Amino acid sequence: MSMETGDDERNQPTEQRASIVKLPLTKKGAGAKKINARALSGAHREIRSLKSEVIQLRKKIKIKNRKIDRINNKTESYASTSQLNSHELTPMKKTEAEVSRLNLTPRSRKLVRRKLLTGNVLMAKIDRAKRASGKKKVSNIHRVISNS
């Protein structure tokens, strides 16, 4: 680089020559200090960004935990309803409680619901027949169920 180009740069307006120049260090000991200072400032920047990321992730965890709690409370209420009042529930309500507790896909939900509903209706009829019948009729019902 010649002197002429250096003079040209100085004569230009400040808007065009706004560039950062890294000057060489004059002291030998200052080089290591400068390297360490730059590394330290870079580490501080990274720590600051990671701390903000940790805060965001903790917020996400809280949101997900609340969502899980809501789902658990909902399924527990269905489970407690079906366990406490299983003989009082209609077959349809009992089936809905069992299907919602399973968290199935919409397609498999239809298939499982149909099978459960059939089973629940049959069980309700058998229970009513047991209550209304004598022991001999109950044993006949048991034979039909066990296919013997």
Per-residue pLDDT reduced to its tens digit, 84-124 = 455 567 778 888 877 877 878 888 888 888 888 888 888 88
CA dist 61 and 55 (Å) reads 10
Per-residue pLDDT of the chain (148 residues), as tens digits, is: 444 555 555 555 555 656 777 766 667 767 778 888 999 999 999 999 999 999 999 999 999 999 998 888 877 766 555 454 555 677 788 888 778 778 788 888 888 888 888 888 888 877 777 777 777 777 777 777 777 5
Smallest CA-to-CA distance from 101 within 69, 76, 67, 65 is with 76
Q: Does residue 104 contact residue 114 with C-beta atoms inside 8 Å?
A: no
Q: How far from each other are the two terminal CA atoms of the chain, in whole angstroms?
A: 106
